[in-house]
Amino acid sequence: MKENKTQSYGAVQSVQFSPLTESSAVAPDKKHLQLLTDVSLQLSFELGRTSKTVREILQWKKGSVISLDKLAGESVDVLVNKMSIASGELVVLDDQFSIRITDILSKQERERKIK
């Protein structure tokens, strides 16, 4: 005669997880964001670019004029840690040069520049 050896574990219940929402997956916690507020970044503004040979640079003297690849009045590139994130226009405010932001690159454009 064979013995029937079966064990009973009780009723099996399925696990219920709360649904993931985009806002909970993407929105940073304010406390974590607060940790980044004191991080220093290099901010620079690029009026234009040019290429010169060492010979040309050695010929510079006080008063030399270097032409750039942009026309007067064109937008200025705003760079954070050497990466372009926005553009603006050069203005004078209280006898100081300033930049008025006119356009900010979208998240997709910034990500494309990284790659």
Domain at 79, CATH number: 2.30.330.10
- Which of 11-25, 43-57, 82-96 is predicted least confidently? 11-25
Q: Which residue range forms the structural domain that includes residue 58?
A: 43-62+72-115
Number of domains into which the chain is organized? 1
Specify the pTM.
Answer: 0.59
| 1 lies in some domain | no
Which tens digits make up the pLDDT trace of 38-87? 889 999 999 899 999 999 999 999 999 999 998 888 899 999 988 999 99
In sequence order, what DSSP letters do the residues of 45-89 get, joined into one string?
EE-------HHHHHT--TT-----SS-TT--EEEEETTEEEEEEE
In a domain, 12, yes or no: no
Please report which confidence band the pLDDT of residue 14 belongs to, taking 50, 70 and 90 as the band edges: low
